[in-house]
Amino acid sequence: MTATIIDGKAFAAKVRGQVADHVARLKGQGITPGLAVVLVGEDPASAVYVKNKGIQTKEAGMASFEHRLPAETSEADLLAVIDRLNADPAVHGILVQLPLPGHLNADLVINAIDPSKDVDGFHISNVGLLGTGQKSMVPCTPLGCLMMLRDHLGDLSGLNAVVVGRSNIVGKPMAQLLLGDSCTVTIAHSRTRDLAAVCRGADILVAAVGRPEMITADFIKPGATVIDVGINRIERDGKKKLVGDVDFTSAAKVAGAITPVPGGVGPMTIACLLANTVTACCRANGLSEPEGLTA
């Protein structure tokens, strides 16, 4: 079997197009969705993400506000910035770029964001709402995975899903979303016994581990849909390379469909951030939410 490649780049472009259409409609009613991104410190990878977020926010027609603060910013000063953004009616989404410098308490900072503007979906209120099946802001990466799965498979009800990884930002919300779509969900992690056998039971396998090419063909049920969230920078044959948590070459011979790295889940994350900002803006203005852009 040779797997169908799920083209995240093309799908993300489609989602961004839908977002831009909604933004145009909102602007017609005198409303411009706004996204504020707060970056503390000089982490080069974070700086690249923030720059890309700003570019794509503007391309979608939204207002982009960037707050770059020095690495030594105190917690009180950062909280004051968040308070101002919470109170600013032009800002519908707030994202604090993680990781934060070590002296700042990330949980405290994230929980200071107004939950209705928490477009990353990390605020404890949104985590609770998602966990209890209520309307929430959904973390962008798992939302992007869910959109791709629905697009590729249609109804997910009754399918066996295995999520490898139990982080708060990917693994756990991914499992909640799949449960919400009536999958039978298993969450695997570093203590899971016979991981390959657990994964072979999956119709949907989501890898969010952070270990380069760990999931090989023998982990995959023939015909399964494989979503590779991993982003790992490695060096091979003297060249720097980006690979996922799945060994793409061997996995693609067994899977029914698979996302590549790069060009799979990655582009969907920013597209879903824009989608969440539009959703937050619609909710703030008492308008109906964009269809197909939320969980």
Which residue from 108, 133, 135 is spatially nearest to 123, judged by alpha carbons? Answer: 108
Place of tokens 């009180």: 76
Residue 141 · residue 122 · CB < 8 Å: no
Residues 242, 263 contacting (CB under 8 angstroms): no
Q: Which is nearer to ligand NDP, 82 or 170 (CB)?
A: 170
282, burial (CB in 10 Å: exposed 0-12, middle 13-18, buried 19+): buried
Residue 97 is among the residues annotated as catalytic for this protein: yes
Q: Is the peptide bond before 99 cis (omega within 30 degrees of 0)?
A: yes
The least CB distance from residue 71 to ligand NDP, in Å, is: 22
Q: Smallest distance, Å, CB 243 to ligand NDP?
A: 10
Query: Catalytic residue among 18, 97, 221, 245, which?
Result: 97
Q: How far is the CB of 49 from ligand NDP (least distance, A)?
A: 9
- Amino acid letter for position 142: P
Tell me which residues touch ligand NDP (CB under 6 A). 141, 164-167, 169-171, 188-192, 195, 208-211, 229-232, 265-266, 269
Neighbouring C-alpha atoms within 13 Å toward the C-beta of 286: 0
| Residue 120 is a catalytic residue | yes
User: In the chain, which ranges are continuous DSSP H helix?
Assistant: 8-28, 44-59, 75-87, 106-110, 124-131, 140-153, 171-180, 195-200, 248-251, 265-284
- Which CB sits closer to ligand NDP, 177 or 229? 229
The residue (of 209 and 224) whose beta carbon lies closer to ligand NDP is 209
Question: What is the C-alpha separation between 59 and 67, in angstroms, rounded?
Answer: 19
Question: Do residues 271 and 16 make contact, with C-beta atoms less than 8 angstroms apart?
Answer: yes
User: Which is nearer to ligand NDP, 9 or 283 (by Cβ)?
Assistant: 9
Q: Closest approach of Cβ 92 to ligand NDP, in Å?
A: 22
Q: Which of 53, 117, 172, 221 is catalytic?
A: 53
Shortest spacing between CB 24 and ligand NDP, in angstroms? 26
Considering Cα of 58, then 45, then 124, then 65, what sign does the dihedral take?
negative
Q: Which residue is nearest to ligand NDP (CB)?
A: 167
* CA 197 and chain centroid, separation: 27
* Minimum distance from residue 160 beta carbon to ligand NDP (Å): 18
For residue 56, indicate whether it is catalytic.
no
Provide the token pair at 127: 């985590």
Instruction: Indicate which residue of 56, 117, 118, 120 is catalytic.
Output: 120
Closer residue to ligand NDP in complex, CB, 94/209: 209
The residue (of 81 and 231) whose beta carbon lies closer to ligand NDP is 231
What is the CB-side half-sphere exposure of residue 112 using CA atoms within 13 A?
A: 19
Which residues form the catalytic set?
53, 97, 120
